[in-house]
Amino acid sequence: MSEGSEETVMEETAMIEVKRGDELGEGYRRGIAEVFVEGFGDDLRYFAEDPAELAAAIDHMLVLERFHVALIDGRPAALASLTEGGQEAVDHDARTLRRHLGLVKGTIANRVFRTHFQGNSVEPEPGRVEIGFVASARRFRGQGAAKAVLNHLLALPEYDEYTLEDIKDTNEPALRLYERVGFHEYKRRRANHSRWSGFEAYVSMKLTQS
Ligand SMILES: CC(C)(COP(=O)(O)OP(=O)(O)OC[C@H]1O[C@@H](n2cnc3c(N)ncnc32)[C@H](O)[C@@H]1OP(=O)(O)O)[C@@H](O)C(=O)NCCC(=O)NCCS
């Protein structure tokens, strides 16, 4: 794989290239947010049922330089964040959330996003990094876009220890994908309310390069 933050992979049917969000620029912010919403919108449906409305509410919070995006035919198809210790991939603004979602839902979103989307768990150490927010757009699933983002991140020369935290134990596509690129489980913690949430545990995975 080439060094640097850009690479092109020829797939059977589509050309996939991976670029960092800030290289793509502000013109891609909404498109990147739409992929984020396709990945995590089900969990966020309480805040806005309409995916376009949700993307408009949350696009400001994506720290573009922390997101790496696979493009298929030039369109954002998959993404993942990469954060070193102390860095955040998401930085929301409470007032913007309230403007889009209204006073009550915006205030709740502010709290929920702070607890669930922030708080990097990686100890700051050279070479150590966390991957998060792995998602692909529905129409591009199964085409290797998410895998291309992960392989791109794993080829970055400055890192050798990668973690993925708190994957639901029922998320077969994600677990399979992470195993395929070389991650293995290193931690598992029981989920609260597993009876109604539909899953038993959160799995954390790690990949260390020699
Ligand atoms: C998980 C997710 C990112 C996979 O994206 P994708 O673009 O379909 O993945 P890819 O096309 O790159 O697939 C690569 C590998 O993933 C696995 N995979 C993908 N979809 C799968 C599915 N439905 N069932 C089982 N394995 C699957 C396969 O092992 C595949 O490897 P292969 O091509 O060697 O067979 C996507 O399903 C998604 O966005 N889910 C919602 C958000 C989410 O749950 N993110 C993970 C949070 S931890």
pLDDT in tens, 63-73: 999 999 999 99
> What are the residue ranges of helices labelled H in 92-181?
94-101, 103-117, 145-154, 172-180
pLDDT band at 142, cuts 50/70/90? very high
Domain-by-domain residue ranges, the chain?
16-158
| pTM exceeding 0.95 | no
**Calpha distance 191→160 (Å, rounded):** 29
Q: Find the 174 Cα to ligand 1 centroid distance in Å.
A: 5
Query: What six digits make up the tokens of 51?
Result: 């995916």
* Residue 47 near residue 54, CB atoms below 8 Å: yes
Q: Evaluate: CB of 171 within 6 angstroms of ligand 1.
A: yes
Distance in angstroms (rounded) separating the CA atoms of residues 170 and 166: 11
Output the six-digit token pair for 145. 């876009």
The confidence score (pLDDT) of residue 116 equals 87
Q: What are the phi and psi torsion angles at 160 (to 5°)?
A: -135, -5
pLDDT, tens digit (0-9, with 9 covering 90-100), for 3-51: 444 555 554 556 899 999 999 999 999 999 999 999 998 889 999 999 9
Position 5 scores a pLDDT of: 47
Q: What are 188's two structure tokens? A: 């598992």
Q: Determine whether the shortest distance from the Cβ of 172 to ligand 1 is under 6 A.
A: yes
Provide the CATH number for the domain formed by 16-158 in this structure. Answer: 3.40.630.30
Which atom, in ligand 1's list, is nearest to the CA of 148? 12
Q: Is the pLDDT of residue 152 over 90?
A: yes
Q: Considering only CA atoms, which residue is closest to atom 30 of ligand 1?
A: 177
Q: What pLDDT shows up at residue 1? A: 38
135 CB within 6 A, ligand 1: yes
To test the pocket of ligand 1, the residue of 177, 179, 187 to mutate (highest count of ligand atoms within 8 Å of its CB) is: 177
